[in-house]
Amino acid sequence: MTFFQQELAKTSFCALDLETTGINPALHMIVEVGIVRFTMNSEGEILHRMVNPGMKIPEEVIGIHGITDDMVAGAPQIGDVLGDIFRMIDGSILVIHNPDFDLAFLKWAYHRGNKPAPPMLAVDTVRLSRRAWPGLCDHRLETLCEHLRLDYRHHRALDDARACMDVFRSVARLEDPDRRWTLGDLAGYHGSFVRSKRIRGKRISTPGQRSMGLQLGKTATITYRDQDGAFTIRSIQPREFITVGNNDFVLAYCNLRGDIRYFRMDRIKAIN
């Protein structure tokens, strides 16, 4: 039997959601993981972890998911959770709302931790819902839960993962009431499943490494121009060099802000 001949009813799925410190997986960090393993007829193991991102969570992001620095202060870092995530999702098809976002964060987390990432193949509940309920005003997860009368706390990882599971099951029951679908039928309805993309970037965190006049682990004073064009003089302790596409960054503790910040290297105008 080929992959696409496998019956939907006999397939293992994992609904997954992540909450993060921002939207760029190379620069921002995961703060919460929620995963529910399930089949069409039953719910299995649950993985829910708070994650310490190693930096302050921006106020505007706290306003979205409500996760504060105090809530993650005693939590493990993502590198300590990757093994549990691998074990949980291995051998399953992921069910995610807008999977490109979550898959990219997971891929970068494994890349950052120098660990092999599990195979990640996902079904997008946004795509499914657009086809199943084209008349809705939008296909955000909140809108879908309201339409299906699902009561979940949105923008928290485990509740959103459960919501994805229920949306997926609802679409399958609507379109396949006789429970005859195979994975090929699902792919025909959904379109090609979503795969994690190759990492396009690199990270250097070895103490003593140098880049453009900065050295990891050695304090430096820089003149920095922010995105608004304002100049400040800052004392920083570089921790990591990061390249994303054509942009180079340094992750450093900033004494001026009292926090870990990312600085674009092309905005550093002087180093003392």
Average confidence (pLDDT) over 61-75: 96
Q: Can you give the length of the chain in residues?
A: 272
Going along the chain from its start, the domains and CATH numbers come out as 3-195 (3.30.420.10), 201-271 (2.30.30)
Q: What SS3 class is residue 203?
A: strand
Which pLDDT tens digit goes with each residue over 28-41? 999 999 999 999 99
Q: Are strands 30-38 and 13-20 parallel, antiparallel or unpaired?
A: antiparallel
Predicted TM-score (pTM) of the model is 0.86
Give start and end residues of each alpha helix (H) in 11-156: 59-65, 69-72, 82-89, 99-112, 125-132, 141-148
Nearest to 32 by CA among 17, 13, 12, 15: 17
Which pLDDT tens digit goes with each residue over 95-128? 999 999 999 999 999 988 889 999 999 999 999 9
Backbone torsion region of residue 234, taken as left when φ is above 0, otherwise alpha when ψ lies between -120 and 50, otherwise beta: beta
Confidence of residue 24 (pLDDT cuts 50, 70, 90): confident
For residue 161, pLDDT over 80 is answered with: yes
Which pLDDT tens digit goes with each residue over 219-260? 999 999 988 889 999 999 999 999 887 889 999 999 988 888
